[in-house]
Amino acid sequence: MSLKPQDVVVALGALLKPPVDFTYQDRSIQLGMSVSEVHAADKRLHNAGLMAEGRSVAAALEEFLVHGLRYVFVPKLGGLVRGVPTAHAGPGLSALIQSDELPPVWPDPEGEVRGLSFSPLYSSAPGAARRDLKLHELLSLADALRGGRARERKLAAELIHQRLSEATYAL
Protein backbone atom coordinates (compact mmCIF):
# COMPACT_ATOMS: atom_id res chain seq x y z
CA MET A 1 0.00 0.00 0.00
CA SER A 2 1.57 3.29 -1.13
CA LEU A 3 1.15 6.66 0.54
CA LYS A 4 -1.08 9.19 -1.19
CA PRO A 5 -0.72 12.98 -0.99
CA GLN A 6 -3.84 13.31 1.18
CA ASP A 7 -2.13 11.12 3.77
CA VAL A 8 0.29 13.97 4.48
CA VAL A 9 -2.67 16.31 4.99
CA VAL A 10 -4.23 13.81 7.42
CA ALA A 11 -0.93 13.40 9.32
CA LEU A 12 -0.49 17.17 9.64
CA GLY A 13 -4.10 17.57 10.74
CA ALA A 14 -3.52 14.89 13.37
CA LEU A 15 -0.74 17.01 14.85
CA LEU A 16 -3.25 19.75 15.55
CA LYS A 17 -6.17 17.60 16.63
CA PRO A 18 -5.13 14.16 17.83
CA PRO A 19 -7.23 11.39 16.27
CA VAL A 20 -7.81 9.82 19.69
CA ASP A 21 -9.72 12.96 20.70
CA PHE A 22 -11.75 13.36 17.49
CA THR A 23 -13.95 11.06 15.48
CA TYR A 24 -13.39 10.33 11.81
CA GLN A 25 -16.37 12.60 11.16
CA ASP A 26 -14.70 15.48 13.05
CA ARG A 27 -11.47 14.96 11.16
CA SER A 28 -13.23 14.76 7.81
CA ILE A 29 -14.83 18.15 8.49
CA GLN A 30 -11.48 19.61 9.65
CA LEU A 31 -9.72 18.47 6.47
CA GLY A 32 -12.53 18.73 3.93
CA MET A 33 -12.31 15.01 3.09
CA SER A 34 -14.76 12.17 3.29
CA VAL A 35 -14.78 9.93 6.35
CA SER A 36 -13.61 6.99 4.24
CA GLU A 37 -10.65 9.02 2.88
CA VAL A 38 -9.52 9.91 6.41
CA HIS A 39 -9.92 6.31 7.57
CA ALA A 40 -7.97 4.95 4.60
CA ALA A 41 -5.24 7.57 5.12
CA ASP A 42 -4.94 6.52 8.78
CA LYS A 43 -4.40 2.93 7.65
CA ARG A 44 -1.72 3.89 5.14
CA LEU A 45 0.03 6.15 7.67
CA HIS A 46 0.00 3.34 10.22
CA ASN A 47 1.45 0.88 7.69
CA ALA A 48 4.17 3.39 6.77
CA GLY A 49 5.10 3.93 10.43
CA LEU A 50 4.02 7.57 10.42
CA MET A 51 1.14 6.99 12.86
CA ALA A 52 0.78 4.64 15.80
CA GLU A 53 -1.96 4.31 18.40
CA GLY A 54 -3.92 7.02 16.58
CA ARG A 55 -1.11 9.56 16.96
CA SER A 56 1.57 10.91 14.64
CA VAL A 57 5.04 9.46 15.13
CA ALA A 58 6.92 12.76 15.23
CA ALA A 59 10.46 11.58 14.39
CA ALA A 60 9.35 9.44 11.45
CA LEU A 61 6.97 12.10 10.15
CA GLU A 62 9.66 14.78 10.36
CA GLU A 63 12.16 12.58 8.52
CA PHE A 64 9.64 11.87 5.77
CA LEU A 65 8.59 15.51 5.41
CA VAL A 66 12.11 16.92 5.37
CA HIS A 67 13.87 14.28 3.31
CA GLY A 68 11.25 12.49 1.22
CA LEU A 69 8.28 14.71 0.52
CA ARG A 70 9.87 16.65 -2.34
CA TYR A 71 10.71 13.43 -4.20
CA VAL A 72 7.42 11.65 -3.68
CA PHE A 73 4.85 14.44 -4.14
CA VAL A 74 6.43 16.87 -6.60
CA PRO A 75 4.28 20.01 -7.03
CA LYS A 76 2.96 21.07 -10.39
CA LEU A 77 3.75 24.71 -11.08
CA GLY A 78 1.68 26.85 -13.38
CA GLY A 79 0.71 30.32 -14.46
CA LEU A 80 -0.90 33.32 -12.83
CA VAL A 81 -4.04 32.48 -10.80
CA ARG A 82 -6.07 33.68 -7.85
CA GLY A 83 -5.51 31.55 -4.79
CA VAL A 84 -4.30 30.91 -1.25
CA PRO A 85 -0.63 31.67 -0.48
CA THR A 86 1.59 28.68 0.24
CA ALA A 87 5.24 27.66 0.61
CA HIS A 88 7.40 30.71 1.40
CA ALA A 89 4.40 33.04 0.91
CA GLY A 90 2.20 31.20 3.43
CA PRO A 91 2.04 31.56 7.20
CA GLY A 92 5.26 30.62 8.91
CA LEU A 93 7.80 31.55 6.28
CA SER A 94 6.28 34.77 4.91
CA ALA A 95 7.55 36.67 7.97
CA LEU A 96 11.08 35.33 7.39
CA ILE A 97 11.42 35.51 3.61
CA GLN A 98 10.86 38.64 1.56
CA SER A 99 10.51 38.25 -2.20
CA ASP A 100 9.70 40.54 -5.10
CA GLU A 101 8.52 37.56 -7.16
CA LEU A 102 4.91 36.52 -7.52
CA PRO A 103 3.97 34.28 -4.59
CA PRO A 104 3.14 30.60 -4.98
CA VAL A 105 -0.60 30.01 -4.43
CA TRP A 106 -2.98 27.08 -4.41
CA PRO A 107 -5.51 27.83 -7.14
CA ASP A 108 -8.79 28.76 -5.45
CA PRO A 109 -11.61 30.99 -6.70
CA GLU A 110 -12.12 32.26 -3.13
CA GLY A 111 -8.43 33.10 -2.73
CA GLU A 112 -7.46 36.72 -2.19
CA VAL A 113 -3.93 36.64 -3.63
CA ARG A 114 -2.77 36.54 -7.24
CA GLY A 115 0.29 34.45 -7.78
CA LEU A 116 1.80 31.47 -9.55
CA SER A 117 -0.10 28.22 -9.39
CA PHE A 118 1.36 25.61 -6.99
CA SER A 119 -0.57 22.34 -6.78
CA PRO A 120 -1.76 21.51 -3.25
CA LEU A 121 -1.10 18.10 -1.72
CA TYR A 122 -4.84 17.49 -1.89
CA SER A 123 -7.71 19.39 -3.47
CA SER A 124 -9.31 20.21 -0.10
CA ALA A 125 -6.16 21.93 1.25
CA PRO A 126 -7.14 25.53 0.34
CA GLY A 127 -10.53 25.26 2.04
CA ALA A 128 -9.11 23.50 5.09
CA ALA A 129 -6.38 26.14 5.33
CA ARG A 130 -8.93 28.96 5.24
CA ARG A 131 -10.72 27.36 8.22
CA ASP A 132 -7.57 26.69 10.29
CA LEU A 133 -4.53 29.00 10.32
CA LYS A 134 -2.32 26.44 12.09
CA LEU A 135 -3.15 23.81 9.47
CA HIS A 136 -2.46 26.40 6.76
CA GLU A 137 0.97 26.98 8.30
CA LEU A 138 1.82 23.26 8.38
CA LEU A 139 0.63 22.72 4.81
CA SER A 140 2.60 25.78 3.63
CA LEU A 141 5.74 24.51 5.36
CA ALA A 142 5.22 21.13 3.70
CA ASP A 143 4.93 22.91 0.34
CA ALA A 144 8.15 24.82 1.01
CA LEU A 145 9.79 21.43 1.57
CA ARG A 146 8.19 20.08 -1.62
CA GLY A 147 9.05 22.90 -3.98
CA GLY A 148 11.13 25.55 -2.28
CA ARG A 149 14.68 26.67 -2.85
CA ALA A 150 17.45 25.50 -0.52
CA ARG A 151 17.05 28.40 1.94
CA GLU A 152 13.26 28.01 2.05
CA ARG A 153 13.58 24.26 2.62
CA LYS A 154 16.11 24.80 5.41
CA LEU A 155 13.88 27.31 7.22
CA ALA A 156 10.80 25.14 6.67
CA ALA A 157 12.63 22.11 8.11
CA GLU A 158 13.53 24.12 11.22
CA LEU A 159 9.93 25.28 11.67
CA ILE A 160 8.54 21.78 11.07
CA HIS A 161 10.93 20.46 13.74
CA GLN A 162 9.71 23.16 16.13
CA ARG A 163 6.01 22.47 15.42
CA LEU A 164 6.48 18.72 15.86
CA SER A 165 8.31 19.32 19.15
CA GLU A 166 5.41 21.50 20.33
CA ALA A 167 2.93 18.70 19.58
CA THR A 168 3.12 17.12 23.02
CA TYR A 169 0.78 14.33 22.02
CA ALA A 170 3.00 13.20 19.15
CA LEU A 171 4.95 10.03 19.94
Q: If you write DSSP's letter for every residue of 106-149 in order, what string do you get? A: EE-TT--EEEEEE--SSTTHHHHHHH-HHHHHHHHHHHHHHH--
Burial 120-144 (b: 16+ CB within 10 A, else e): bbbbbbbbbbbebebbbbbbbbbbb
Q: What is the pLDDT of residue 169?
A: 47
Q: What is the mean pLDDT of residues 89-118?
A: 93
Q: Note the pLDDT tens digit of each residue in 28-78.
A: 999 999 999 999 999 999 999 998 875 668 889 999 999 999 999 999 999
Q: Where in the chain are the domains?
A: 5-71, 74-166
Q: Note the pLDDT tens digit of each residue in 111-134.
A: 999 999 999 999 999 999 999 999
Q: What is the pLDDT of residue 51?
A: 86
CB 151, CB 75: distance < 8 Å: no
